[in-house]
Chain A
Amino acid sequence: MSPNFLRLIKKRSLVPILTVLLFVSIASSVTGLLLYDATETVASSGGMLPHSTFVVYSSSSKLPITSVLPLSLSDNLSMIPGVTQVTPEVLTPVLAKGKVLILRGMNSTSFAELYKPTFISGGLENASSYTVFIGSTIAKQLFTYSGAKITLHGIMSNYNETLTIGGIFKTGTVLDDEIISDITTAQALRGIGGEQASILVVRVNQSNFNASSLVRLFEGKTAGGKSSSTNFVNSALSLGVVGIGSFLVGNPSQAAGEVLSRAIGVSQDALWVLVVTVSVCSILSVYYGASWTISENADVLRLLNWLGMSRRGLIFRILTLFLVLAVISSFMGYLASTMITSFLATAIDLNVLFQPIILYNSPIVFILTLFSISTLLTVSVMKLIPNHV
């Protein structure tokens, strides 16, 4: 792009395209960052697991928290070659001092091995029935301490339990926003039987673990479930909720899971709809913004064309100018968005699934925004500069 061409372009005519590009960059970056952070926060709600470890949960559930699995599955999983440890966990939302929190029920030895907590006060030696361990973030929010009593209300079971705080820990993961108890307490507060869990955390030795044996195990279970419709309804009734006609029939605690699943579904949909709406409006904004600037400079472009500049030459110059503006505005938009989201996350207490949102400030959002805007600009300029200027 020659400086002479820049001199010919009216500087004020760049105001509309620059405004639109900044608007689209900030809007896309804010939407992208919020969606990415919310999704990653949900993904990490299963716990930040060590290498060679994965989580199994019910396929009918949108999230680990709504899953119900038979504990017997852990025995089957343990028999697979290469599986070194299977830890059942029960996840449930509970109400403590008017705040909705996640309670994770699991064996205390597995808790120490999997998540490696550092205790600020108390410790796992205090572990016994009717004892809970509280993440450091939650402990601060609840103004509680080791040795104090805490009453938990199981939202999905409508059941209360008063427990002693055995310690306050820090892991540097989402577990700092959770309460850890033994599995029996969590099952009672979740409203499920002693033979059920929410998730199974499986640790494998990668050198002799083959994923195909896992697939065989799960496919075998599915095939058995489809053997007859009566069997299907019976198993669904014992394990969860089944739709019969216009009614939902099943375990009441699972009905809460259904409410939660549907609500999470709507939340996810809402965020995705925002992404689609932002994309559609961005396409229109960029197209009309580019059209505005080009129409303001139509006389200059026409003159250059009469003086012998080809359409390709005009497109190249206009596009280079627009792409430079796109890079600047995308970068500024991304920077502004990271500042806006981090400010708003603290100012309005952003939570996802009862846990504070984790801000990743992923550069993927910047790259995607820049790529989309550049593509939009290229298509718009190609379309807006006609064959005969």
Chain B
Amino acid sequence: MGESIMSLFLRLSVGKGEDFLTYSLTLSSIVALIAGGLAVTNVSTSFFNTGVPSSFEVLVQSLSTELRNLLLAWMVPIIVLLIVSSFTLALRSGQLLFQTASVLLYTGSTKRKIRRLLLMRLLLLSLTSWLFGWIGGVVASQIAFRFVSLATGSPFLIPFLYPSDLVTLAIITTGSVFAGYFVSVAGLAREVTAF
């Protein structure tokens, strides 16, 4: 009995599976872009930091700083974009649950249950976006690096993410998705006066 209620709760929070997958993949492709950029930044920085002291250190450090600054100039606007777009897409995804929430309210569900429903939906959305996003981003950047190094004849390096990058991505994605959730709830409260 408990299992079937849980399964129903999950199904209600996800809604139409195909649509939920579309929302999740839209957000994932945005997260993938950031993850790919981070992976490229890491591999480039690690290439310069060989740890071997040499007379060319100042030259290598100078080039390393130049590349780091260039990648930073790329990352800053992209991270801001990630936050803004995750927020907006989560907001819209939350709004799409209004109809289900209204029906549930009028059929006797408690406000707490509906809040949990929204919470579950956005938790799943941020989790799947983060997971598909960073895996896709790292794989895409590795394949891209392979092709580019084959084309230019430069050494092939493997882009990677540090565990701290995964935590940062998780915080950014979940944070902005949940910010969208709170705005959705506020909107829902306005639309459904009983809320």
Q: SS class of chain A's interface: helix, strand, loop or mixed?
A: helix
Q: How far is the CA of A265 from the CA of B150 in the complex (A)?
A: 12
Min Cβ gap A144→B in Å is 19
Judging by beta carbons under 8 Å apart, are A263 and B145 in contact? no
Judging by beta carbons under 8 Å apart, are A292 and B22 in contact? yes
Please name all residues of chain A whose beta carbon is closer than 8 Å to the beta carbon of B48 when the two chains form the complex: 263, 266
A273 and B145 in contact, given A16-B26, A23-B81 (Cβ under 8 angstroms): yes
Please name all residues of chain B whose beta carbon is closer than 8 Å to the beta carbon of A291 when the two chains form the complex: 22, 26
Min Cβ gap B11→A in Å is 18
Q: Which of A68-76, A217-225, A349-357 contacts B (4 or more CB under 8 A)?
A: A349-357
Chain B CB within 8 A of A142 CB: no
Chain B residue nearest in CB terms to A281: B33
Residues of chain A from 239 to 277 with CB closer than 8 A to chain B in the complex: 256, 259-260, 262-274, 276-277
Judging by beta carbons under 8 Å apart, are A288 and B70 in contact? no
A281 and B36 in contact, given A263-B63, A266-B44 (Cβ under 8 angstroms): yes
Q: How far is the CA of A215 from the CA of B113 in the complex (A)?
A: 79
Please name all residues of chain A whose beta carbon is closer than 8 Å to the beta carbon of B74 when the two chains form the complex: 30-31, 34, 274
A95 and B58 in contact, given A281-B33, A281-B36 (Cβ under 8 angstroms): yes
Chain B CB within 8 A of A52 CB: no
Q: How far is the CA of A278 from the CA of B44 in the complex (A)?
A: 17
Contact check: which of A30, A93, A273, A348 meets B40 at CB < 8 Å?
A: A273
24 inter-chain pairs at a CB distance below 8 angstroms, sorted by A residue, are: A19-B88, A20-B85, A22-B81, A23-B84, A26-B81, A27-B33, A30-B73, A38-B70, A263-B60, A265-B153, A267-B44, A267-B66, A267-B67, A269-B145, A269-B149, A270-B44, A271-B70, A274-B36, A277-B141, A281-B29, A281-B30, A284-B136, A295-B22, A348-B72
Chain B positions near chain A (C-beta within 8 angstroms): 18-19, 22-23, 25-26, 28-30, 32-33, 36-37, 40-41, 43-44, 47-48, 55-56, 58-60, 62-67, 69-74, 76-78, 81, 84-85, 88-89, 91-92, 95-96, 136-137, 140-141, 144-145, 147-149, 152-155, 157, 159
